[in-house]
Amino acid sequence: MEILKRQVELQDAKDALKLYEGYLANSADSVSQGDSAQIYNRQDKLEQLMNSVTQCEVSLQEALLAKEAGMIIASREKEDAEGTGDSGLTAAQENIDLEIGKQQKKVLRLQMLLDANGWVYASRSGKVTDVAISVGNRTQDMASILYALDEGKKIVETTFTSEQVKHLTLGCVFQIKVKLMDGSSVTEDIVLSYLEKKLNDENYGEMFFENDNVALGQTAELSYKKRTDIYAMCIRKDLIHQSGVTGNCVYVVEEYEGILGTEWRVRSVPVTIVDETDNMAAIESADIMSSTKIVASTTKELKDGDVVRVLE
């Protein structure tokens, strides 16, 4: 199936080249010698089609080599199953055959480079986004040229702090604003599709963004508004304290009848945080009602049972 697919691709590439060559022959008189831009575009298109044919030929040869190597391995395995060969020799021969296949692929690619006089052409249209090589320097072992396909997806990359991530989930909608080269701007909604925790209190996020007017490498402005429910009890986050026994708690003041008359005493009440923003928190507690007085500020550190003076 792989070989048949490569054969079809090669034939399609040859047909496209032949068709374009016929088009050039028939329209040669319509292009004036002074129209250098149009001549260049036609020559560039012709070179792309010729390169596509070469790429398809290489792919077909690689498929044929892979099939041949697979047949050799299958033959060796059959000999082992029938007990007619030396298993040690068979394994060694398989490794040799595979290595030969790898070297043949390298030779094919070098031959293609030689046929193109050292020029490297991309098999599909796109844009070079980064070049990590320079004249006179050693070529690095990793990718030296980064290439983005025209039909590939554009990805917005960003980082979030741990505090920001608390309000985010996969699938939440951001608004992206990008300033274009002509001074105008484009604003769209995009979805958070990937989130990964990194070191140093950072989290990496990705969002797909499809807009042909936005160039690769541009900086975008992201904004996010979290929609929350309406809660009956919301207080400032600084009014919530930590208790080693009950966890989150707030201090409330209640009236008591003492020997000196009516007095106010402090009581620690455990609460559950059901939602929060940067400054506010929605809480739930069986001991807190609408008439409960929560301590908003104090002049000293409080503890259960303290008698205090209440200032409205």
Q: Where are the alpha helices (DSSP H) in the chain?
A: 2-26, 36-82, 87-115, 162-165
Q: Which residues contact 286 (CB under 8 A, 6 or more apart)?
A: none
Per-residue tokens: 131: 């070049």
Domain ranges of the chain: 2-115, 153-223, 234-308
Domain 153-223, CATH homologous superfamily name and number: Efflux pump adaptor protein, beta barrel domain (2.40.30.170)
CA 240, CA 295: separation in Å to the nearest integer? 10
According to the model, what pLDDT value does residue 31 have? 54
Q: Which residues contact 87 (CB under 8 A, 6 or more apart)?
A: 80
According to the model, what pLDDT value does residue 296 have? 87
According to the model, what pLDDT value does residue 27 have? 67
Q: What is the mean pLDDT of each run of 10 residues along the chain (312 residues)?
A: 76 82 69 58 78 81 74 64 54 70 76 75 71 77 70 78 82 86 84 84 84 75 77 87 82 83 87 85 85 86 83 74
Q: Which residues contact 179 (CB under 8 A, 6 or more apart)?
A: 185, 218
Q: Which long-range contacts (CB under 8 A, 24 or more apart) does 232-236 make?
A: 232/290, 233/282, 233/283, 233/284, 233/285, 233/288, 234/280, 234/281, 234/282, 234/283, 235/280, 235/281, 235/283, 235/294, 236/279, 236/280, 236/281, 236/296
According to the model, what pLDDT value does residue 111 have? 77
According to the model, what pLDDT value does residue 150 have? 61
CA 109, CA 119: separation in Å to the nearest integer? 12
DSSP state, 237?
G
Regarding pTM above 0.75, the answer is: no
Give the residue among 94, 90, 106, 105 at the shortest CA–CA distance from 69: 94
Sign of the CA dihedral running 267, 270, 275, 279: positive
According to the model, what pLDDT value does residue 78 have? 61
Burial class of residue 7 (count of CB atoms within 10 Å of its CB; 0-12, 13-18, 19+): middle
Instruction: Report whether 205 contacts 222 (CB < 8 A).
Output: no
